[in-house]
């Protein structure tokens, strides 16, 4: 079922003055691209300097803002800075703020660089304000346990609403938000969902609600949620978890969350489905691929085909190692690989280990196709709530069709697992990844498929510290031997959805032991861990990837707290073996079905619908009735639906409050980068 041809999207952006090897022609002739239905015009990354759109929505005085990536806005100057290697992490350069408009800065550079003795280092120091980085160091108190750490870290990682700054690459947000940690000092899309799990567990509803509103604000301003809140991320997104964020909020606020955020849910869907109506069999456009039999799949994409701003020198070097391959193709696939959230993994590498062979746009990954099915289910539910039954039926039908596609296209019957699909070759890939659990997490697999996946995970991915990202070791960070918090969480929840609770508990117990054991040795939580090693390392393990191990860390904190609450007996046993991380027993916060949750205030009864919810629900695999109602009765897992709703309405069980930050023995300092 390989495609006959691929039609490229017209980027419309000017190309930065990169080295000659980094020229960036369009993927194919833009004239051949289908006319996208519902398109909002050129990608936002192509806009010139404008009055701050963020300022308009934040109701603050406007400042000049350039929504183009710095590499586009500053062209040859940015490339020259990239070639000078002024910082060990080039993201520092991308985040620096120029002191004048990019066009004026370019003129100054063009004039000055002709002079003898011109120094790009001195020019950068004169015209750019380096970003302030929050370097957090910890000296654990004798009685500080891991729960205290997680609670206190919310304050450390929380950023207050942004103040727009002239020509800054930061996209300001109207509400307080939690950053991942380390070098990631802005909001990131899919990270945020797993961070929100921790906020949900500790009852921090205002912060959670504000972050959902921040996401909605990005959709309203830019037509989608970018990879992160920087202008250089506007040309791509990340795995679309927005509908699951709304689910999480609805479990406390009730059905009003779906009504309020329905316009943004629809815009999110329109972004990912841009061009679908005009796409013919054998064509691909932006995020979409239509196979020769008419099957519609989603892939990852970036509207630019230039080096990534945050990794400019590294990308130029990677393209130079790609032989006869066009640098623009390498850049596009590196960017698309960043949109996957798995940057990088053997999943995206043609030879399984060399980054220069990356071919992300040739692949339809498991996650994005499953997440769009969940988004369609959420749209069905939202339109049913608002009485728009025709639209509800439309999205319900699309969700059912996409579920069937997931079960058919991504399933490998010989290997008993879900795999990514190479649409050029017309077959699944050979890299087994933790993403095989995504259809279970969202209740899209059949019962037989789920049981087979459980066996495969246990045989090939389960290790002493949890499950590995993949069964390949490539040196990339999203491969063996590393394990990541979101993948553990989704696998555990997915296995529980289908009755494989023993394996789910085993993964949870091993992962918690690895994370808590590392905390015992280091006093911090990390973004990833070596789960294959039989021993616990204070540094987390081998690391790998483009940057050093980062501490914080939002999604590790959030999901660990969720697992500790759901497995109190395992948690108690692990803490007995790690006394410095020990804590008093904690209450278990019961889950609830977001599609039938009643908020703090009385809201109309919601139609029951199998939402693919990740917390609870009836037996998987049962279909909805003809009128769209579910034949499942959601409960909290411990009683009736009414009891679940009552617990949700009251905000669930009370959680201990975070320790005041001034009682924590931790220090935080602001440091400005100095060019090397």
**Strands (DSSP E) along 489-569, which ranges?**
528-530
What's residue 82's pLDDT? 83
Strand (E) positions, 46-141?
49-51, 64-66, 97-98, 128-129, 132-138
The torsion region of residue 475 among left (phi > 0), alpha (psi -120 to 50) and beta comes to left
pLDDT at position 155 is 85
Q: Residue 112 burial by CB count (10 A; 0-12/13-18/19+): exposed, middle or buried? A: middle
Beta bridge partners of 50: 65
The Cα angle at residue 326 between residues 321 and 327, in degrees rounded to 5: 60
Sign of the CA dihedral running 328, 333, 335, 336: positive
Q: Mean pLDDT of residues grouped by 10 in the chain (676 residues)? A: 45 34 32 34 43 52 85 92 86 92 94 95 94 60 79 88 91 94 84 96 95 97 97 97 98 97 98 98 98 98 96 94 97 98 98 97 98 98 98 98 98 98 98 98 98 98 98 96 97 98 98 94 89 91 57 87 95 91 57 79 50 36 36 34 33 32 33 42
| CB of 241 closer than 8 Å to CB of 189 | yes
* pLDDT of the residue at 100: 93
Sequence-distant (6+) residues with CB within 8 A of 116 are none
Check residue 581 and give its pLDDT: 82
How crowded is residue 671: how many other Cβ atoms within 10 Å of its Cβ? 11
Joined tokens for residue 390: 């025709």
Three-state DSSP class for 138? strand
Long-range contacts of 59-64 (CB under 8 A, 24+ apart): 60/163, 60/164, 62/164, 63/164, 63/165, 63/166, 64/101, 64/166, 64/167
The rounded distance, in Å, linking the Cα atoms of 244 and 375 is: 8
Asked if 360 and 333 count as a contact pair (C-beta separation under 8 A), the reply is: yes
- Look up residue 50 and give its two tokens: 């404008």
Q: CB of 527 within 8 A of CB of 181? A: yes
Contacts of 223 (CB under 8 A, 6+ apart): 40, 44, 267, 270, 271
Q: Given this model, what pLDDT does residue 647 score? A: 33
Hey, which residues are catalytic here? Answer: 343, 527
pLDDT (0 to 100) of residue 153? 85
The whole-angstrom separation of Cα 213 and Cα 230 is 17
CB atoms within 10 A of CB 160: 9
């Amino acid at each position: 079922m390989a495609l006959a041809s691929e039609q490229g999207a017209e980027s419309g952006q000017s190309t930065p003055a990169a080295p000659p090897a980094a020229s960036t022609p369009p993927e194919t002739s833009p004239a051949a691209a289908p006319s996208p239905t519902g398109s909002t015009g050129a990608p936002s990354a192509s806009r010139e300097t404008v009055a701050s759109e963020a300022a308009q929505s934040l109701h603050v005085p406007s400042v000049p803002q350039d929504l183009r990536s710095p590499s586009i806005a500053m062209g040859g100057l940015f490339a020259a800075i990239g070639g000078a290697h002024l910082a060990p992490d080039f993201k520092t350069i991308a985040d620096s703020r120029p002191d004048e408009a990019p066009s004026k800065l370019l003129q100054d550079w063009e004039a000055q660089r002709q002079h003898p003795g011109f120094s790009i280092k001195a020019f950068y120091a004169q015209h750019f304000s380096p970003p302030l980085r929050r370097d957090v160091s910890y000296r654990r108190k004798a009685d500080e346990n891991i729960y205290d750490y997680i609670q206190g870290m919310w304050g450390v990682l929380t950023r207050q609403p942004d103040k727009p700054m002239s020509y800054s690459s930061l996209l300001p947000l109207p509400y307080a938000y939690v950053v991942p940690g380390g070098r990631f000092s802005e909001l990131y899309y899919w990270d945020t969902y797993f961070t929100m799990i921790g906020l949900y567990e500790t009852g921090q509803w205002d912060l959670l609600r504000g972050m959902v509103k921040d996401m909605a604000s990005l959709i309203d301003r830019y037509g989608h949620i970018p990879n992160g809140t920087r202008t250089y991320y506007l040309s791509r997104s990340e795995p679309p978890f927005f509908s699951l964020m709304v689910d999480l909020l609805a479990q406390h606020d009730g059905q009003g969350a779906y009504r309020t955020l329905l316009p943004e849910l629809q815009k999110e869907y329109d972004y990912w489905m841009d061009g679908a109506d005009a796409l013919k069999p054998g064509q691909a456009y932006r995020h979409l691929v239509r196979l020769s039999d008419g099957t519609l799949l989603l892939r990852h994409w970036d509207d630019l085909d230039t080096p990534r701003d945050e990794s400019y020198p590294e990308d130029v070097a990677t393209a130079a190692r790609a032989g006869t391959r066009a640098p623009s193709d390498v850049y596009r696939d590196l960017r698309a690989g960043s949109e996957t959230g798995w940057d990088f993994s053997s999943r995206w590498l043609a030879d399984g280990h060399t980054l220069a062979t990356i071919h992300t746009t040739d692949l339809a990954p498991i996650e994005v196709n499953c997440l769009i099915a969940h988004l369609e289910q959420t749209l069905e539910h939202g339109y049913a709530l608002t009485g728009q039954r025709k639209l509800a039926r439309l999205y319900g039908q699309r969700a059912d069709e996409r579920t069937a596609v997931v079960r058919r296209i991504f399933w490998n019957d010989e290997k008993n697992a879900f795999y990514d699909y190479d649409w050029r070759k017309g077959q699944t890939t050979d890299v087994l990844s933790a993403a095989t659990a995504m259809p279970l997490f969202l209740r899209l697999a059949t019962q037989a498929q789920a049981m087979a996946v459980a066996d495969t995970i246990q045989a090939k991915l389960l290790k002493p510290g949890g499950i590995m990202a993949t069964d390949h070791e490539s040196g990339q960070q999203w491969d063996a031997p590393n394990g990541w918090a979101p993948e553990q969480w989704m696998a555990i929840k997915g296995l529980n959805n289908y009755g494989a609770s023993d394996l789910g508990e085993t993964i949870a117990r091993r992962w918690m032991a690895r994370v808590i054991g590392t905390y015992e040795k280091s006093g911090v939580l990390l973004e990833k861990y070596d789960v294959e090693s039989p021993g616990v390392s204070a540094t987390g393990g081998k690391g790998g990837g483009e940057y050093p191990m980062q501490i914080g860390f939002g999604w590790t904190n959030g999901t660990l707290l969720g697992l500790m609450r759901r497995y109190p007996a395992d948690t108690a046993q692990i803490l007995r073996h790690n006394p410095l991380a020990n804590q008093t027993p904690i209450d278990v916060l019961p889950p609830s079905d977001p599609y039938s949750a009643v908020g703090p205030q009385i809201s109309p009864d919601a139609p029951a619908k199998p939402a693919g919810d990740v917390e609870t629900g009836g037996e998987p695999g049962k279909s909805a009735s003809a009128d769209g109602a579910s034949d499942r009765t959601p409960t909290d897992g411990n009683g009736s639906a009414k009891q679940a709703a009552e617990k949700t309405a009251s905000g669930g069980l009370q959680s201990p409050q975070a320790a005041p930050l001034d009682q924590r023995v931790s220090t935080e300092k602001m440091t400005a980068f100095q060019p090397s």
